Chains A and B, each alone.
Chain A
Amino acid sequence: MIELTASDFRPGRGSLAVWRRNVRVWRKLIRVSIVLNFGEPVIYLLALGYGLQRFVGAMDGLPYMVFLASGLLVSAVMHTTAFEAMYSVYTRMEPQKTYQAILATPVRVADIVAGELLWCATKGVIASTAILIVAGCMGLISFPGALGVIPVAFLTGLAFAGFVMPLAPFARSYDYFSYFYTLVIVPMFMCSGVFYPVDSLPAAGQWAASLLPLYHAVELARPLATQAPLSAPLVHGLVLLLYAGAGYALSVRFYSRRLLQ
C-alpha cells in the first residue's frame, strides 16, 4: 500500500511538461481537432436550433437559438473534457504506458494529474472558443461581454476533469467508460439547463441538477453570453472549484495506487 504525504500532492514544474506533451500531440492533429471543434456546434445549432426555433420561439426570455448557444458554450467543455479525461487518459495510462515512461523521470504522479487537468481545461477552452466564434458569426451572442465565458470555460474544464479523471484507475477496459457516459454525462447534458431551464424540472430533478457541475457552468455562461446579470456567481464558481480540487486530490490518490504498486 502506498502511503502518501502532503508533498506527494504538491504539483511541480513537471506538470507543465505533461501539459506541453499533450499540446504537442494536439498540434500534430490540429486540422482534425479544429474541424471537430467547429463542426459539432454548427450541427447542433443548425439542426436543433433552426428546427426548434420555429416551434419554441422564445425560452426564458431569450430567442431559442440564443438560449441554446449560450448553454452549448459549456456543455461542449463537458463533452471535450470528459472524453479526454476518460479515453485519452486511459490510453496514455494503459495501452501506451506513457505514464510509466514519464514516472522514470523526475516527474511525479501529482505532476501527471495536474498536467492532465490543465490540459483538459485547455481543450475545454478551445472547444468553447470555437462555439463563441460560430455563435458570434450567427449573431447569437454579443461581444465583448461574451469573452467572459473563456475563464468560465477554463474553470468548467477543470471541474469536469476533476469529476471524471478519478475513474480511469478503476477501469479494466474502455467499455467501463460507456456506462459512465450513458448514465451520468448524457443525463447531465439533458437536464442541466442547456436545452430548457432547470426550473421546469420536478423539484427532485432540480435538486439533482444543482449537485452536478454542468448546471453551475450554465448558470455562469448564459448570463455572460447574453449580457444578463449574474446570480450568485461565487456559489457557482465555488462548486466548480470544489469539483476540480476534490477530483485532483482523489486522482493523486487513485493514480498513485494504480501506477505505483
Chain B
Amino acid sequence: MISLPLTGIRVVDITVIYAGPFATMHLADWGAEVIRVESIKHFQVLTRGGMARPPQELVSNPTRTGGIATYCGRDVSFRPWNRWTLFNAHARNKLGCTMDLTQPKGRELFKRLIQASDVFLESNAPHVTENLGLTYDVLQEVNPRLIMLSMPGFGGYGPYKYYRGLGVHQESFVGHTFLRGYPDSDPSTTSTLYHADEASGATAAFAVLAALHYRNQTGKGQFIDLAQAEATMPHLGEAIMDYTMNRRVQTSSGNCLPGAAPCGCYRCRGVDRWLNITVGSDGEWAGLCRAMGNPPWTKEERFSDSLSRYKNRNELDRLIEEWTRKHNHYKLMYRLQKEGVPAGPVIFEDDAYKDPHLKERGFFNELTHAECGTHLYPGLGWRMSKTPNRLRLPPVRLGEHNEYIYKGILKVSDEEYRELEREGHIGMDYTPEVR
C-alpha cells in the first residue's frame, strides 16, 4: 500500500463558490492538508449561502424544491452557513479557520500561515488580493517555495481583468451557451449550467500538481495565472477549430452527435422519465430494431442506412418514442445494452443512491457532520489501486479547526488566542452585523 499522494502538503485556500473549491477538493481528497481561511466579519455571497442568516420563513417555503442551494432539513435556526448544500458538496476532507484579513494583524497571521504552507489557491476577482496586499510578489518573499494559483474568471491581466460574473456568465463568454440547448429555439431558452466550474476547477488541480512536480525536481515554486474561461475553451476545441479552419460558426445540435442517428433523449413510462439512445453504426441499428421487436417500419427505405436515418431523424425519433413511452427506462437500458446499443436512463438523485453500479464500486461514503448528522456523500471521482481511499472528514464548519491551526501551526499562546477571539479573528459564528 502507498500513502495518500499529497501527504505532507499544506494548502491555503481562500477560494469562493464552485470552481476554486472544486480544485482544492481534489487536493484534500488525496491527502493534502487544505486549510480554508474564512472571516467571521465578511460573508462571501454564494459560498456558504445566499445570506448569512436567511429568514426561516423563506427557507421553509421555497419557490422551488431541489436544486443546488438548499439547507440541511431546511432548518436555518442554528449556523445555517454550515448546512448549505452548495458548500457541503465540496468541503469534505478540508480544515478551516477564521481570520480577518482586513486587519493588519490578520494579514500578519495569514503570512505566517503561508510561510508554513506549500500551496496557496484563490479564485477571487483580482482586486481582492490586490487590495489586501496578498499578491504573489509579496507572498513569495515570505515563502520562496510557494506555489500560488489565482483563478479569476478572466485571468490576471487583459481588458476584462476586473469583469464580474458568475459561472453562468462564463458559460456565455466562452461560447458554451451558444453551442447547446434546443436546436429549434434561440439561446434565450437555454437553461443554466456550470461546466466552466468543473472544467476550470479540475484544470486548476492539475496545474498545482504539475507545479508541485516541478518543485520536487528543482526546489522552485511559482505563480500560476488561470483564467477560468481559458481552462474551459479547450473543451470546445473542435467547434473553435471549425471556425478557425473553415470560418463556420457552429450552433447547437441539441442531442445529436455527429455520425449518429437515431440519437436522442426519449420519453419513457412514468413522470419525467427518459432514456438516451445513441446509434452510431448499422450494427447498433440492427440491435435497436431487435430490442423493439423488429416492427415493420424499421424495414422502410428511409431508415435503411445511417444517412437516411439522419435525414429522417424527426420521424424516426417519433416512432422510437412511441415504443419507449410504454416501458420503464431502466428496463430499456438493460434490453438495449444486451443488444449492444449504447443506452442509459436520465438518472435522478434517488436513482443514483440506488444504482447497483455505484453501490458495487462504493461510490457514496457515509460522513457524520456535527450539526447536520449522518448522511451519504458523493465520493471520489476515481480509484487508485494501491491507495485505498474514501471520504474521511465531513464538510468543514466555519472556524472548526481554529484551535489546531492557531495553536498547532501558528504557535499562538492561549492568551493571544483569547485576544484574537476578542478582535474578531477567531470564532465559529459570523458577527451579528453580518447579513
B is bound to A: no
Interface residues of B (CB under 8 A from A): none
